[in-house]
Amino acid sequence: MQFVLKLLSKGSVLLAASALLSKIISFGRDRLILEVFDAQAADLVFAAFRVPDFFFYLLVGATISVIFIPRLVELSEDDQRAYFSSFLWGVLICFGAICLLGLLLAPQLIGLVFPGFSMQLQAQITELARYLFGSVFLLSLSSVFAAGLQAQEKFFTIALAPLIYVSSIVGALYIFRDQFGVLIVGYGAIAGALLHLTLTASVSFWQGFRLQKAWLQPVNAWHKFWPDFGRRVFNNAAFQINQTVDLWIASFLVLGSITSFTLGTTLGHFLLSVLGMAIANVAFPRLAKVKHQRDAQVSILKQSTGHILLFAIPFSLLCAVLAEPILQLLFGLEGSRLEMTRTVFWWTVISLPFACLIPLFSRYFLANDDTTTPMWINVISLAIATSLAAFLSLKIFSGQGAILGLALGNFTANILSATLFFFAILKTHDRS
């Protein structure tokens, strides 16, 4: 019992449990999509998430906490309230404008990302994507409240909110699947995002957060904010562009490729959110509080890395051996879709231990206000991986086998990125 308590902090247990349950519910959602819709409609649904998710994870999901928390924890209580309010208003106005543009320009964006699809299918994707832009706007506001709770190491609400969001989509699909077609996914996402925001905002106000009529206050917290934000966005852009290009490639491949690639990568990266992101999110406030204290930070990294590898390595090996029965059990796949999904899943899960370390290693640099190193590591590794995937899928392999190129791209990105981060950490520690 003492070993278990020492192994994982309360925060990491909550976030890991939340991510685990969220993934399980997500698998139920994906299986419902496969059961309710035909192969073309399933491709449509998975494709529709890509464009709104691109902007959300680029500008909000993977950015807010890593830029918000280090600045927040250095402020007095009164300044924290002003900074929180300024940040929230900024997200509401700036990301709200982006989502509005996304709604208006959705046909052009979908045509750009999925040129391999027919015009009719692009029009259907566009209609669903517009609802999903509304959901990510609500999630962006909720992310600010969640980041404030994370800075206080209040993890219960952060753990509960994603479960409510995913469950809303599943519930909508299950209850109304015969009435609204693929648009029910968008309706469920809107409802789930609204509940997500209601929960995080309510708890934040209960914890003492108060909104103020503040803009770019306090001044010292916004010093060099925009260059810092730009570098972090550019850092995230490499990963988001890689994911988008992979689906762009998949739109030229055989029917079902987008579904197979999405399912294979999502399941293959199962522990990335359950374990890797959970431990990284718990470690980040601790790393930020001992900023530039290399020995203390490396000690946190060593402990967190040990926790990740203890679970990730045996999980990866087990999933590689049992890849086909796992996919059949979770999604009921068979035939060509099973074979294509198995290919992506196998190569992704083999590199899973490396993938789980990437968010932790990157937060070491972000906690020390170094956005340049992770930016270049991500750009280099993902550029190499994406180029390899495009060359193999479009030039070397063909038919159902073309998806192997995308799978090898995932494999290369994970291993190369984690390796480069590891040697960069060693280099910075040797200098201290």
Tokens standing for residue 354: 């490396």
What's the pTM? 0.75
> Could you report the per-residue pLDDT of 122-142, keeping only the tens digit for each?
888 899 999 999 999 999 999
Of 57, 58, 59, 83, the closest CA to residue 70 belongs to 83
Residue 8 scores a pLDDT above 50: no
pLDDT at site 24: 86
Residue 341 scores a pLDDT above 80: yes
- Measure the CA–CA gap between 136 and 113, rounded to whole angstroms: 18
pLDDT at site 61: 66
Evaluated on CA atoms 52, 168, 250, 110, the torsion sign reads: negative
pLDDT at site 248: 86
Confidence of residue 87 (pLDDT cuts 50, 70, 90): confident
- Measure the CA–CA gap between 392 and 58, rounded to whole angstroms: 27
pLDDT at site 1: 32
Per-chain mean pLDDT for the chain: 84
Q: For residues 221 and 75, is the Cβ–Cβ distance under 8 A?
A: yes
Most confident of 73-77, 146-150, 244-248, 305-309: 305-309
Residue with tokens 């090996």: 317
Residue that wins the pLDDT comparison between 13 and 118: 118
Residue 153 scores a pLDDT above 90: no
Tokens standing for residue 264: 């294979």
Q: What number of H helices and E strands is found in the chain?
A: 19, 0
- Measure the CA–CA gap between 110 and 116, rounded to whole angstroms: 11
What average pLDDT does this structure show over 379-396? 90
Q: For residues 334 and 256, is the Cβ–Cβ distance under 8 A?
A: no
Phi, psi angle pair for 351, to nearest 5°: -95, 10
Residue 121 scores a pLDDT above 70: yes
Q: What's the start-to-end Cα distance of the chain, in Å?
A: 37
The structural domains of the chain, with segments of one domain joined by +, span 9-223, 224-432
Q: For residues 157 and 146, is the Cβ–Cβ distance under 8 A?
A: yes
- Tell me the percentage of the chain whose pLDDT exceeds 90: 32
Residue that wins the pLDDT comparison between 152 and 398: 398
Residue 72 scores a pLDDT above 70: yes
